[in-house]
Amino acid sequence: MLDQAERLRNMALKKNAGEEIKRPVIITVTSGKGGVGKSNFVVNLSITLQQMNKKVLIFDADVGMGNDDILLGCISKYSVFDVIYNNMKIEDAIVEGPFGVKLLPGGSGITKFKDITEDQINAFVKKLASIGNFDYIIMDTGAGVNRSVLGFISCCEELIILTTPEPTSLTDAYSLFKAVVHFKIKSYAKVVINRVVDNKEGLETYKKFQSVAKKFLKADTEFLGSISEDSRIVKAVRNQTPFVVENPNCYAAKDIQYIANKLMGTTTKDNGLGIEGLFKKLFKIFS
């Protein structure tokens, strides 16, 4: 009986240890300029991963301009700010979207990180530990090159840069990646080309980006995929319904499914910061 009890205890310890070791893949999605469909991509990719039995948390890190809740068809009343400074439960700040995807709005709380105390950090991290394990944490940053965006990029395992075939969008995406490489934050990025006429245009656009990044930055990139231009995307946004939910068989939804499958096959598991480690690093960067 004692031997059996000991075996059961060891099994429980191994199970708990396994749960502690599990770490989500932390992805930062960013763009060189606004208006390229970044947040819409984040929301629809997250839902698609959730449909593939992955647990996903979106962290809306677009300071003051976050709209992921609207795209999800939800209303967020609270944000990280309320959890840290108003002692609110983190469960009350998290919004649940289609298929169970979770959203944690950053709000204006990110800009206040410089004023945060050690006690507030410890209390917040303790709250984070209570919200469960995730397979992916996807951070939706603001657009452009600034301290906030670069800070979020430095905290991720996977960087995805979203651009369109337009020359101005490509130029701005390159400028962002140039800053990332220059400050030795990352030397590798996955690239998604949005609003393409067909896959050929997506691949040709990516090759332009890849060529310049390789020649002038000596940096590597990977083509994650392209997303078709589709009028039904605009309609879905107006209806505040993600297009992978409203039109799951449209070309753009199929493109997102392809990207999600490819992402699952290339991301590294179980070696990241974890959600507590992520926010500890963010507090350190922005303080």
Whether 12 maps to a domain, the answer reads no
Instruction: State percent of the chain over pLDDT 90.
Output: 63
Q: What is the C-alpha radius of gyration for the chain, rounded to an integer number of angstroms?
A: 20
* Predicted model pTM: 0.87
The pairing of beta strand 188-196 with beta strand 158-163: parallel
> If pLDDT is split at 50, 70 and 90, which confidence band does 122 have?
confident
- Structural domain including 164 reads 23-286
Whether 7 maps to a domain, the answer reads no
Whether 10 maps to a domain, the answer reads no
| Cα separation, 93 vs 74, whole angstroms | 12
Whether 13 maps to a domain, the answer reads no
pLDDT of residue 2: 40
CA distances from 80 to 26, 97, 111, 130 (A): 18, 18, 11, 15
For 10, other C-beta atoms within 10 Å of its C-beta total 10
Strands (E), 83-219: 95-96, 102-105, 136-143, 158-163, 188-196
Whether 243 maps to a domain, the answer reads yes
pLDDT of residue 185: 95
Whether 5 maps to a domain, the answer reads no
pLDDT of residue 4: 46
Q: What is the pLDDT of residues 6-42, one digit of tens each?
A: 444 454 444 444 445 468 899 999 999 999 999 999 9
3-state secondary structure of 91: helix
Per the structure block, which two tokens stand in for 100?
Answer: 């169970």
Q: What is the pLDDT of residues 227-270, one digit of tens each?
A: 999 999 999 999 999 999 999 999 999 999 999 999 998 765 55
The DSSP secondary-structure symbol of 186 reads -
- Mean pLDDT, rounded, for 38-58: 97
Is pLDDT at 66 greater than 60 in this prediction? yes
Q: How many domains does the chain have?
A: 1
Whether 54 maps to a domain, the answer reads yes
CA distances from 197 to 204, 235, 251 (A): 11, 18, 11
Q: What is the pLDDT of residues 206-224, one digit of tens each?
A: 999 999 999 999 999 999 9
Whether 8 maps to a domain, the answer reads no
Q: Give the chain's mean pLDDT.
A: 88
CATH code, domain with 282: 3.40.50.300
pLDDT of residue 268: 56
The DSSP secondary-structure symbol of 77 reads -
> If pLDDT is split at 50, 70 and 90, which confidence band does 52 have?
very high
> What is the spatial order of strands in the sheet that 220-228 belongs to?
95-96, 102-105, 56-61, 136-143, 25-31, 158-163, 188-196, 220-228
| Cα separation, 52 vs 248, whole angstroms | 14
Per the structure block, which two tokens stand in for 13?
Answer: 């310890």
Answer whether 79's CB lies under 8 Å from 252's CB: no
